[in-house]
């Protein structure tokens, strides 16, 4: 029973970690796009 509980907790932690990485990746892309737009405006 304890092994099953630990396995489930490890799986939940792994899923949370992957979801967090995906969210940070999306945030990085959004910030990059914003920086590109600012750079385009500055070059004009």
Q: Please write the tens of the pLDDT for every residue from 3-36.
A: 999 999 999 998 887 777 777 777 788 888 888 8
Full-model pTM: 0.49
Query: Which pLDDT does position 22 carry in this prediction?
Result: 72
Q: Element (H or E) spanning 43, and its range?
A: helix 2-43
- Token digits of residue 20: 């967090």
């Amino acid at each position: 029973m304890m092994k099953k509980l630990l396995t489930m907790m490890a799986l939940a932690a792994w899923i949370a970690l992957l979801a967090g990485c995906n969210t940070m990746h999306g945030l990085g892309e959004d910030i990059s796009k914003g920086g590109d737009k600012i750079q385009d405006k500055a070059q004009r």
